[in-house]
């Protein structure tokens, strides 16, 4: 199921305090970049982030999920309603 533009806009609003956030549409989903580096994406209307060292302490209880078949597992961000939360995980 492709991700909705509405969910993308919601996540972009949550990330609006961070400078240099961009996205690219990719096969019905959206890749999220911070300062030009891929940090995660929106897959099936779920925000998944790469398991980078800076995000792991804040997502230690997060579930792991495959964004698509054959990909590496990523961390599911389930606290998307907390705008301040994003400053720590991205």
At the top level of CATH, which class does the domain 5-89 belong to? alpha beta
Distance from C-alpha of 78 to C-alpha of 87, rounded to nearest angstrom: 15
The beta-strand segments (E) located in the chain are: 21-26, 29-34, 37-43, 46-49, 64-65, 74-77
Of 22, 82, 25, 33, nearest in space to 58 by CA: 82
9-44 tens-digit pLDDT: 999 999 998 889 999 999 999 999 999 999 999 999
Task: Show me where the domains of the chain are located.
Answer: 5-89
* pLDDT average, residue stretch 67-82: 90
Distance from C-alpha of 49 to C-alpha of 73, rounded to nearest angstrom: 9
pTM tops 0.95, yes or no: no
Please tell me the least confidently modeled range out of 17-21, 26-30, 50-54, 71-75: 50-54
pLDDT at 52 over 70: yes
Q: In this structure, are residues 88 and 58 in contact, taking their beta carbons and an 8 Å threshold? A: yes
How does residue 87 score in pLDDT terms, banded at 50, 70 and 90? low
């Amino acid at each position: 199921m492709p991700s909705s533009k509405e969910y993308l806009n919601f996540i972009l609003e949550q990330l609006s305090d961070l400078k240099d956030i961009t996205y690219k549409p990719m096969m019905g989903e959206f890749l999220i970049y911070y300062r030009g580096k891929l940090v995660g994406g929106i897959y099936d209307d779920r925000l998944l982030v790469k398991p980078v060292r800076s995000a792991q302490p804040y997502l230690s209880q997060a579930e792991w999920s495959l964004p698509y078949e054959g990909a590496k597992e990523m961390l599911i961000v389930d606290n998307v309603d907390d705008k301040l939360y994003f400053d720590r995980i991205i």
